[in-house]
């Protein structure tokens, strides 16, 4: 029986395919690096304006605002992924995500060793990213089939996170963070491999997917460090 799957994953790239793959890969990494700037600015705005404290006092409304804002911007990015507007919307999205991250950052930075914890979380995320990028370049097996199972896990995590806003169970929060790191690390590998193998031809979409993976690994790693490694100020 002839193999009807795209030859992109089964045979060597043609010259044109190789050029497209390299361009998407290069642009994705550059845009991912640039997207960290609005994220940091958004976090700074959130903390200096006091929005992080407002979000801490109204977790339910914050969750609703986050879901509407995040999914609304992601929908807009998808619709404009082939234009410069898509890049602008992506940077706006990363700024928004930075603002939402300010609640957790403000909490951790309020600890005596908060700065160290943030650096540890950043370093740990960088290690995860480097590991997944290396694996994406070396693993020959197509891992895209894992995505559907990972997506089910994300839905379960989302439901559990919303429920824990009201339950406020520390053990559940810790479990959610640990599982989230595992799931989004796997998603990072899948998304990076898709770019490396040429399965994704739009760098805006690729950057959005990998950014979300990195963001979730960082935020959940920081949450765990805040639970176990946080020190009270004198």
Rg (CA), the chain: 19
- Which residue in 216, 211, 180 sits closest to 37, CA to CA? 211
* DSSP per-residue letters across 174-217: HHHHHHHHHHHHHHHHHHHHHHHTT----HHHHHHHHHHHHHHH
Residue 233 has pLDDT above 70, yes or no: no
Boundaries of domain holding 72:
15-229
- pTM of the full predicted structure? 0.89
- Report CA 214 to chain centroid distance, whole Å: 4
Number of domains in the chain: 1
Residue 234 counted as domain residue: no
- SS3 of 224, please? helix
Which tokens sit at 196? 């490396």
Per-residue pLDDT tens for 187-225?
999 999 999 988 888 999 999 999 999 999 999 999 999
Establish if 88 belongs to a structural domain. Answer: yes
Residue 116 has a pLDDT of 95
């Amino acid at each position: 029986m002839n193999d009807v799957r795209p030859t992109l994953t089964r045979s060597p790239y043609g010259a044109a395919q190789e050029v497209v793959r390299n361009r998407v890969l290069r642009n994705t990494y550059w845009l991912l690096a640039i997207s960290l700037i609005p994220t940091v600015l958004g976090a700074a705005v959130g903390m200096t304006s006091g929005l992080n404290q407002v979000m801490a006092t109204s977790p339910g409304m914050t969750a609703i605002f986050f879901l509407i804002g995040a999914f609304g911007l992601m929908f807009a990015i998808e619709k404009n992924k082939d234009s410069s507007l898509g890049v602008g919307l992506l940077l706006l999205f990363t700024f928004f995500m930075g603002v939402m991250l300010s609640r957790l950052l403000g909490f951790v930075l309020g600890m005596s060793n908060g700065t160290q914890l943030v650096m540890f979380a950043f370093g740990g995320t960088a290690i995860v990213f480097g590991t997944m990028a290396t694996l994406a370049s070396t693993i020959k097996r197509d891992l895209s089939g894992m995505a559907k199972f990972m997506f089910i896990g994300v839905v379960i995590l989302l439901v559990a996170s919303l429920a824990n806003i009201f339950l406020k169970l520390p053990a559940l929060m810790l479990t959610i963070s640990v599982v989230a790191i595992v799931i989004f690390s796997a998603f990072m590998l899948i998304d990076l491999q898709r770019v490396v193998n040429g399965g994704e031809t739009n760098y805006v979409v690729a950057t959005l997917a990998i950014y979300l993976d990195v963001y979730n690994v960082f935020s959940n790693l920081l949450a765990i460090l805040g639970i176990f490694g946080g020190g009270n100020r004198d």
